[in-house]
Amino acid sequence: MIASVSLVIGIPFAAALVMTLIPSYRLSAFGNVLAMGATFAAGLSLLGVTQEAGTYFIIDDVNILFVILNTLVGFTTSVFSASYIGHEIETGRLTPLFVRFYHAMFLAMMGAMNLALTANNIGLLWVGLELATLITVVMVGIYRTPAAIEAAWKYFILGSVGISLAFFGTILIYLAGQAALGEGMPAMTWSLLQANAAKLDASLLNLAFIFLLIGYGTKVGLAPLHAWLPDAHAEGPTPISAVLSGLLLNVALYALLRFKMIVAAHPAAIDPGPVMIVMGLISLIFAAFMLYQRRDIKRLFAYSSIEHMGLIVFAFGMGGMLANFAGLLHMAIHSLTKSAIFFTVGHVAQAKETQRIADIRGLSVSHPALAIGLAAGVFAISGLPPFGAFMSEFLIVTTTFARSPWLALFPVFGLLIAFGAMLLRLQDMLFGEPVGPSHRVKASSLPLVLHLGLVLIAGLYLPPHLAGWLERASELLK
Amino acid sequence: MNYAYNVSHLLAGLMLVASFALLYQDRIFAVLNTFAAQAMLLAMSVGWEGWSQGRPNLYITAAIALILKGIVIPVALHRMIVRLGIHRDVEQVLNVGKTLLIGLALTALSLLLVLKVTAAAQNFTREGLALALAIILLGLLMMITRRNAVTQIVGFMSLENGLILAATGARGMPLVVEVSVAFSVLIALFVFAVFVFRIRERFDSVDIDALEQVRGDRK
Amino acid sequence: MGNTLILLVGQGIQMFLVILVAPAVTGIVRRVKARFMRRRGSPIAQPYRDLLKLLRKEAVVAGNASWLFRAAPYAILAFTWVAAALVPTFASGLMFNWAADAVALVALLGAARAILALAGMDVGTSFGGIGASREMMIATLAEPAMLLVLLTMALTAHTTRLPEIADYFIGAPITVRVSLALALAALTMVALAENARIPVDNPATHLELTMVHEAMVLEYSGRHLAVIELAAQLKLVLYISLIASLFLPFGMAPATAGVVAWIAGAATYLAKLVFAAVLLGVWEVSIAKMRIFRVSEFLGGAFVFAFLAILLAFLTGEVTR
């Protein structure tokens, strides 16, 4: 187990060091793809290892799913980065020095996320997540425009508040563990804490969970702690937007789920479910309404991420086998779809030299391929059949309906509102008379096709092997 | 009522007083000096915990607090303010009186909360934790009620002082040193970022207000 | 029966002691200030002579002054004197022990202040009104702070009676308490404001922009002024005694300890008074008076200190219980 885990974490970090030495941006882009490909392979190798919990690392069905998703999207994003960043250098928005820095940071961030995902130590989990957040802060500010610096600053302020509150929650969990498991490492080891959850002090766990929910919830982008998210998505380079929406939010969610598992295992502690249901629904409905007022294409999809994270948190809040299954599935599909959308959006923004929705008109005339990609992405994320999101959203709504029919109205309401907004904006962009500049872009279609293809397959046919795996993971999350 | 308790009580209590002093100051250099004093108190407190708990590795944390946060960062910020010509008043969203009153309410809240929740824990830990939470919330309050980027950094660092205090107060907690190093790197990074990105070059001041001009969607 | 007599005698001694030494304490403060300003200064006994001089002079009363204006000085002195009798000085547990409650003390001082403010407004001159309104502004900030300080001490000693608090701190082992340090700072700030000392008010000037206490008593003369001055001097002694009995209670004799112990207690008490007076003099020459608009910040600081003190005292009490 250790060998695979150390590869998953080690390859990106080692490659990051190498990247700082490579001056040529073509070579470093290629190296980035190579390193991420190797990491993806290492991630897949986790499927074959025995699942166990060590002192520092843990491998179980839940985090294998997260790691593989993480490395897959990381790999495709690195492919997308190669063409995207090449264009940015040609237009002079980025200098080669910053690109060198960019690739190194990208790899380090992937390594940090993998560290957080495989950690069995709640301190290590925190360190990995925070390292990843910090690196994205720097990447968001990389264009150095006033807007980018503002976005990075806001992200820093809110992110560090999240960092701190989550750390305080971690200390409280340790204190609860210390009384039951003794001083030192055992009281910070997640698997031991979870196994002995019933022995922990309930009131300490409650307080800790509140801090962890606010702290990590800030990173998940739950309303009302979401203020950093649209800015960070809009002002940073598009590959980073893709990684933020597709991966970092998931990693934060993963952390939240791990702690939820501890708290839920204690009979006398608060039930985390209702709290998560409420926060999820607020985010979902709030973001759905906010979609209507967006004028910036990346902000539009950033709010859509808040909406979907809200839905996923809602699903996990409902809990139980089926809801967890739907939540995991939706999370994976959202990651794939949203990063695919950002790939397209990146190319669109480069082709039209703008992110303003009003200036991106007539895409179906000027750039038919991009228009089809964008339309497919928006249909997929809105949960239209035959894409996978339809299935996962359907599952979430039906399980909710089976258990408490009234509650099911809220997510349905939110999803419909969001669907309307999405169609409206899509129509603005695809049709009409093209205006403004219109460049040809060398788009790499591989990541887009791969992601949307996977999402499509998931919508049509879920292989029994995959379904069984998801079932085992949902069983663990219960 | 032993000696060890008295010393940690004294140092943690003084750190809380320093947090209030940070909220009270209206000149930026006074804020930096107060922060440096708080960091030194933290260093002493962590050093004391290291000695009384018999954990020599805490001395590393204490040394970092003393050198980096007590000396290097205040001096660096001081030079930055002089060189970039940032104006030297602390701009407040809320006036001092109201801020202090909210601060008192937050302190009372955190004491009551921690005392209620940790009824079973050791006394040392309880008091340290209660004071640390108060310091954390006051740091948050400072970040919210001050407009200037430098004072926001100071607010964050003071918040972090509270976190380190809480972490060292929890007996036998592993990874404290690593986390404190990680935090210090974080802070250094942001002081460095303000330096490098030279926010001043693009805006008339390091006021968040100036940054807020570009808030929201591009019209 | 004999015990009661002793307690009564002790109480009588205390009442006359405080009123007798009051002008001397003011004299010492003035003397110290003068020396630091490189003046020779008036002798320490000068306040006594001033009082006697004023008593001999005719009291001029404005034509539109009511009975309140004439009665106020005596009422103020009475309230202040009773309050001063409650604060433990050289011995604890005297006759008025049962009434020597922290809250009662604050109430008595508040009553004296209210009468003074009314008297200031009675004649209808603008200075009296300004002084009264400023005094009330100070009071609204200083009184809660003072109550909080006294409650902090009460929380630590588990009683609100001043002599018992003093006894508790004499008996308690020496411990470091941030709450006590904060309480001391807050009480000192309140005492400076209440006694119209620098940096809140300057007792030596009559500058219309800043004066508070002097503005209210501007219309008084003769024996009325003498009584008011004496009450002010008595108030200073009261606050010094209060701080000393709460924070430096050593040397105080129990009420039934006998004459020798009383004399020793009185000697320590007088030494404390002299020390505090010198300290006050040094403080006043080394600091500038603040603008009247900043006084609220100064007293707000005292309030914050006092509130923090009580929170910390509560925390310590809960944790060490």
Q: What are the pLDDT digits (tens) for B67-87?
A: 988 998 899 888 888 877 777
Q: Is A432 left (phi over 0), alpha (psi -120 to 50) or beta?
A: left
List chain B residues with CB under 8 Å of A153.
149, 208, 211
What mean pLDDT comes out for the span A1-25? 88
Q: Alpha helix locations (H) across C248-319?
A: 259-286, 295-319
Beta bridge partners of A53: A58
**pLDDT surpasses 60 at C58:** yes
pLDDT for res A478: 75
Query: pLDDT: is A124 or C205 the higher one?
Result: A124
**pLDDT surpasses 60 at B206:** no
Among B1, B14, B107, beta carbon nearest to C311: B107
Cβ A248 vs Cβ A219: under 8 Å:
yes
List chain B residues with CB under 8 Å of C312.
13, 16
Q: Do B159 and A164 make contact, defined as CB atoms within 8 angstroms?
A: yes
Query: pLDDT: is B194 or C216 the higher one?
Result: C216
> Which residue on chain B is closest to A182 by alpha carbon?
B172
Among B129, B136, B178, beta carbon nearest to A164: B136
Cα–Cα dist C266/C268, whole Å: 5
pLDDT band at B217 (very low <50, low <70, confident <90, very high): very low
Per-residue buried b or exposed e for A133-142, using 16+ beta carbons within 10 Å of the residue's own CB: bbbbbbbbbb
Report how many domains make up chain C: 1
Cα–Cα dist C28/C26, whole Å: 5
**pLDDT surpasses 60 at A406:** yes
Q: What are the pLDDT digits (tens) for A202-213?
A: 888 999 999 999
Beta bridge partners of B146: B92
Cα–Cα dist C135/C142, whole Å: 10
CA distances from C250 to A79, C105, C167, C171, C264 (A): 80, 22, 9, 9, 11
Q: At what angle do helices C222-247 and C259-286 cross, to 10 degrees?
A: 110
Q: What are the pLDDT digits (tens) for C240-280?
A: 999 998 888 888 888 777 788 888 989 999 999 999 999 99
In sequence order, what DSSP letters do the residues of A412-450 get, joined into one string? HHHHHHHHHHHHHHHHHHHSS---S--------HHHHHH
Cα–Cα dist C19/A159, whole Å: 64
Nearest alpha carbon to residue A452 among A310, A335, A297, A309: A335
Per-residue buried b or exposed e for A146-168, using 16+ beta carbons within 10 Å of the residue's own CB: bbbbbbbbbbbbbbbbbbbbbbb
> Which residue on chain B is closest to A129 by alpha carbon?
B182
List chain B residues with CB under 8 Å of C304.
20, 24, 100, 103-104
Q: Is B85 left (phi over 0), alpha (psi -120 to 50) or beta?
A: left
pLDDT for res A293: 86
Q: Does B104 touch chain C (CB under 8 A)?
A: yes
Mind telling me how many Å the CA of A58 is from chain B's nearest CA? 18
Q: Do B17 and C297 make contact, defined as CB atoms within 8 angstroms?
A: no
Q: Alpha helix locations (H) across A24-145?
A: 25-45, 61-91, 96-118, 122-140
pLDDT for res A35: 94
What mean pLDDT comes out for the span C124-141? 89
Q: What are the pLDDT digits (tens) for C2-46?
A: 678 888 888 888 899 999 999 999 999 999 999 999 998 889 999
Nearest alpha carbon to residue C259 among C1, C12, C9, C20: C9
List chain A residues with CB under 8 Å of B152.
157
Q: Does B92 touch chain C (CB under 8 A)?
A: no
Q: Does C9 touch chain B (CB under 8 A)?
A: no
List chain A residues with CB under 8 Å of B203.
146
Quote the tokens at residue A378. Answer: 């928006």
What mean pLDDT comes out for the span C49-61? 91
> Following CA atoms A72, A78, A84, A87 in sequence, which dihedral angle do they give, to the nearest 10 degrees?
-160
Q: What are the pLDDT digits (tens) for B143-179?
A: 888 877 788 888 988 998 999 999 888 877 887 777 7
Residues 108-127 of B with CB under 8 A from C: 108, 111, 115, 123, 126-127
Mind telling me how many Å the CA of A463 is from chain B's nearest CA? 42
Q: Report ipTM for this prediction.
A: 0.86
> Which residue on chain B is closest to A133 by alpha carbon?
B186
Q: Do B179 and A355 make contact, defined as CB atoms within 8 angstroms?
A: no
State which amino acid sits at residue C11: Q
Cβ B160 vs Cβ B187: under 8 Å:
yes
pLDDT for res B194: 64
Q: Does C319 touch chain B (CB under 8 A)?
A: yes
Cβ C242 vs Cβ C87: under 8 Å:
yes
List chain B residues with CB under 8 Å of C320.
1, 5, 123
> Following CA atoms C150, C155, C160, C163 in sequence, which dihedral angle do they give, to the nearest 10 degrees?
-80
pLDDT band at A312 (very low <50, low <70, confident <90, very high): very high
DSSP state of B213: G
Cβ A426 vs Cβ A360: under 8 Å:
no
Q: Is A319 left (phi over 0), alpha (psi -120 to 50) or beta?
A: left
What mean pLDDT comes out for the span A251-266? 92
Q: Do B111 and C314 make contact, defined as CB atoms within 8 angstroms?
A: yes
**pLDDT surpasses 90 at A53:** no
Domain definitions of chain A by residue range: 271-478
DSSP state of C183: H
> Which residue on chain B is closest to C177 by alpha carbon?
B10
Q: Does B84 touch chain C (CB under 8 A)?
A: no
> Which residue on chain A is closest to B190 by alpha carbon?
A156
In sequence order, what DSSP letters do the residues of B166-193 get, joined into one string? HHHHSTT-TTHHHHHHHHHHHHHHHHHH
**pLDDT surpasses 90 at B137:** yes
Phi, psi angle pair for A57, to nearest 5°: -125, 155
Q: Alpha helix locations (H) across C37-177?
A: 46-56, 67-86, 102-122, 126-157, 162-171
List the Cα angle A256/A258/A264 in 5-degree steps. 95
Mind telling me how many Å the CA of C261 is from chain B's nearest CA? 31
Question: How far from each other are the two terminal CA atoms of chain B, in whole angstroms?
Answer: 64
Q: Does C124 touch chain B (CB under 8 A)?
A: no
Cα–Cα dist A241/C180, whole Å: 54
Q: Does C171 touch chain B (CB under 8 A)?
A: no
What mean pLDDT comes out for the span A291-300? 90
| Residue C95 CB neighbour total at 10 angstroms | 20
Q: What are the pLDDT digits (tens) for A143-161?
A: 878 788 888 888 888 888 8
Mind telling me how many Å the CA of C89 is from chain B's nearest CA? 29
| Residue B51 CB neighbour total at 10 angstroms | 15
Q: Do B193 and A138 make contact, defined as CB atoms within 8 angstroms?
A: yes
Cα–Cα dist A194/A464, whole Å: 29
Q: Do B143 and A141 make contact, defined as CB atoms within 8 angstroms?
A: no
Q: Is A222 left (phi over 0), alpha (psi -120 to 50) or beta?
A: beta
Cα–Cα dist C312/B127, whole Å: 9
Mind telling me how many Å the CA of B138 is from chain A's nearest CA? 12
Tell me the torsion sign for CA atoms C169, C172, C174, C175.
Answer: negative
Mind telling me how many Å the CA of A234 is from chain B's nearest CA? 9
What mean pLDDT comes out for the span C95-119? 88
CA distances from C54 to A223, A397, B22, C23, C24 (A): 73, 92, 50, 14, 17
pLDDT for res A209: 93
Quote the tokens at residue C305. Answer: 């200190």
Cα–Cα dist C91/A51, whole Å: 77
State which amino acid sits at residue B170: A
Q: What are the pLDDT digits (tens) for A62-117?
A: 999 999 999 999 999 999 988 888 888 888 788 777 788 889 989 999 999 999 99
Cα–Cα dist A318/A390, whole Å: 19
Q: How many CA atoms lie within 13 A of B89 on its CB side?
A: 3
pLDDT for res B196: 57
pLDDT for res C276: 95
Cβ C3 vs Cβ C256: under 8 Å:
yes
**pLDDT surpasses 60 at B214:** no
Structural domain range at position C160 = 2-319
Residue of C308, C310, C314, C321 best to disrupt the B interface, most CBs of B under 10 A: C308
